[in-house]
């Protein structure tokens, strides 16, 4: 198995799997603590969930997939900073075009519906309204 251009030892892969399993168990333990403490104050129950998830994230942080997730998140933030957002004028113009197109399509579909209704009821079936 290759990771970041270097071959990892099978022992490291197994250690990461164990750490990830422990992280999941800690998170499930936090959820279980929420239900186990059903007679306790809500603050304590929510603290159990937060503590379980925090412990699970902390354990997962030190695995290779956890480190890859951190790098991915950093790259995602960097890419988000490169986004060029439209100006207010561009947004209003685009919204206006969409609105005009929507109204034009509504009128077109209404005219098509009424034309087919007229053709079917009046011309083909001979029914009058």
In this predicted model, what pLDDT tens digit does every residue of 14-39 receive, in sequence order? 888 898 999 999 999 999 999 999 89
Same domain, 7 and 46: yes
**Where is 20: in which H helix or E strand?**
helix 10-36
Same domain, 69 and 90: no
Q: Are the C-beta atoms of residues 16 and 65 closer than 8 Å to each other?
A: yes
pLDDT value at 1 more than 60: no
- Whether pTM exceeds 0.85: no
Position 129 scores a pLDDT of 55
Mean pLDDT of all residues belonging to the chain: 88
Position 5 scores a pLDDT of 43
pLDDT value at 6 more than 70: no
Q: Are the C-beta atoms of residues 14 and 38 closer than 8 Å to each other?
A: no
Cα–Cα–Cα angle for 58, 62, 64, rounded to 5 degrees: 135
Same domain, 31 and 63: yes
Same domain, 11 and 51: yes
Distances (CA, A) of 7 to 1, 13, 16, 61, 96: 6, 11, 15, 20, 55
Same domain, 66 and 92: no
More confident residue, 10 or 39: 39
More confident residue, 108 or 12: 108
Same domain, 34 and 52: yes
75: containing domain: 2-81
The total domain count for the chain is: 2
Query: What's the gap between Cα 45 and its chain centre?
Result: 27
Same domain, 50 and 92: no
Interval 69-97: pLDDT, tens: 899 999 999 999 999 989 999 999 999 99
């Amino acid at each position: 198995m290759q990771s970041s251009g270097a071959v990892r030892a099978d022992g490291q892969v197994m250690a990461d799997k164990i750490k990830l399993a422990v992280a999941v168990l800690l998170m499930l333990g936090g959820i279980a603590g929420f239900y186990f403490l059903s007679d306790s104050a809500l603050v304590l129950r929510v603290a159990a969930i937060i503590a379980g998830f925090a412990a699970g994230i902390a354990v997962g942080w030190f695995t290779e997939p956890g480190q890859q997730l951190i790098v991915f998140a950093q790259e995602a933030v960097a890419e988000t900073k490169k986004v060029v957002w439209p100006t207010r004028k561009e947004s209003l113009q685009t919204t206006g075009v969409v609105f005009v197109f929507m109204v034009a399509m509504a009128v077109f579909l209404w005219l098509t519906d009424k034309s087919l209704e007229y053709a079917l009821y009046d011309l083909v079936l001979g029914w009058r309204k």
